[in-house]
Amino acid sequence: MRTMQKRRLNKGGRGSEITFELDGKPCVAYEGETIAAAMLAAGIRSFRLSPKLHQPRSLFCGMGVCFDCLVTVNGVPNVRSCMMGVEAGMRVDTGVSVGKGGENEKS
């Protein structure tokens, strides 16, 4: 009978501490984290509201397939936060979704 060995990819180390802007407020993250990971660590559970029913959406698949974790990064809407690494000085806004005709709505 084979036994499974536990493997750690990172040996538990973290990158350097950085600060980015989240909804106009400073937020601490670590180099190598995704925006979604940094937001969850900061206690943010709702990343946006759905355009039609205005229901909260958050991290779901964590691999860029579902598009529930969309945020606006440095003015660019509809960025998948689970796929983009956080960077020092980055500006991230939540609550933005694509509305009718492709116009952005701030809820």
Report which secondary-structure segment, H or E, holds 36.
Answer: helix 35-41
Contact 73, 94 (CB under 8 A): no
Tokens encoding 3: 């036994």
Domain 17-99 class in CATH: alpha beta
Q: Which residue has the tokens 């964590």?
A: 62
The Cα-based distances of 71 to 4, 15, 16, 27 in angstroms read 38, 23, 24, 15
What is residue 32's predicted lDDT score, i.e. its pLDDT? 92
In order along its 107 residues, the chain shows pLDDT tens digits of 445 455 545 566 788 999 999 999 999 999 999 999 999 999 999 999 888 888 888 888 988 888 899 999 999 999 999 999 999 999 999 985 554 434 444 44
Q: Where are the domains of the chain?
A: 17-99
